[in-house]
Amino acid sequence: MTDVVLAGSDGLRARNKLDKLRRIKEAAQTLFVAKGFDETTMREIAVRAGVGLGTIFLYAKDKRDLLFLTINEPLEQITQEAEGVFDPNGSLMDNLLAIARLHYRFFGRQPALARLALREMIFYDTGAQAASFQRTRERLIRLFGHTVESAIKNAEIEPSEPPLFAGWTLFCIFQVELRRWLSSDAAQLRAGLNELERAFRMLVVGFGTIAERRGLTKRSQQRKKVIHSKGIN
């Protein structure tokens, strides 16, 4: 009987702990969006969540930690989904945009909160939630690198740099374009992905030298002359 009571007590404590964590996350998100990240205090979050200030510090040492407490888990889930949509037989661009689309949709659901998170991501390497965020970030970078590796195996591209470095470069473009897209309150998913694809393609194709471009132009003109001389429309 005692064992049953203890087990029930442990279960109740676990549920109470999860409920407190949920309230803390919801309170933080609400206040960060309503008042702004810089203006919100940890005490205000504790009051809104109905918990003691000391309870919050069990999960986060500061506001930035608390911000990432609210997004780390869903961000990890999105990255896991992105790994699932990767198609080893697909084209490089299709895979890149499939991965990006999931993240654009995720951040686009709460653009105000997303802008705060993206701002605070820079140099976020210390804190209770930092290790979890860094793992997810590295996981996404490796996924970008994996898309490059797959495209190499499929004889689609032949980069001069290792796949992981190429993936890191693609990830950098992705982050900048995501921030640019979210800077607009009327951000449209299709428009954002179109701009991202444009930036990706420029990297994949390369700037090209003047000599190369002139060579391409000359060959194109020669083909047009051949087609015209044969009367082909």
Q: Where are the domains of the chain?
A: 1-59, 64-229
| pLDDT score at 156 | 93
pLDDT tens digits along 30-63: 999 899 889 999 999 999 999 999 999 998 889 9
Instruction: Provide, rounded to the nearest whole percent, the portion of the chain with pLDDT above 70.
Output: 84
| pLDDT score at 220 | 58
Residue with more model confidence, 213 or 78: 78
| pLDDT score at 186 | 67
| pLDDT score at 122 | 83
With 80 as the cut, is the pLDDT of residue 9 above it? no
Distance CA(137)–CA(44), nearest Å, equals 30
Q: How high does pLDDT run on average in the chain?
A: 87
- What is the CATH number that goes with domain 1-59? 1.10.10.60
With 90 as the cut, is the pLDDT of residue 25 above it? yes
pLDDT tens digits along 76-127: 999 999 999 999 999 999 999 999 999 999 999 988 889 988 888 888 888 8
Question: How many Cβ atoms sit within 10 Å of the Cβ of residue 140?
Answer: 22
70-77 average pLDDT score: 94
Tell me, which fold does domain 64-229 have in CATH? Tetracycline Repressor; domain 2 (1.10.357)
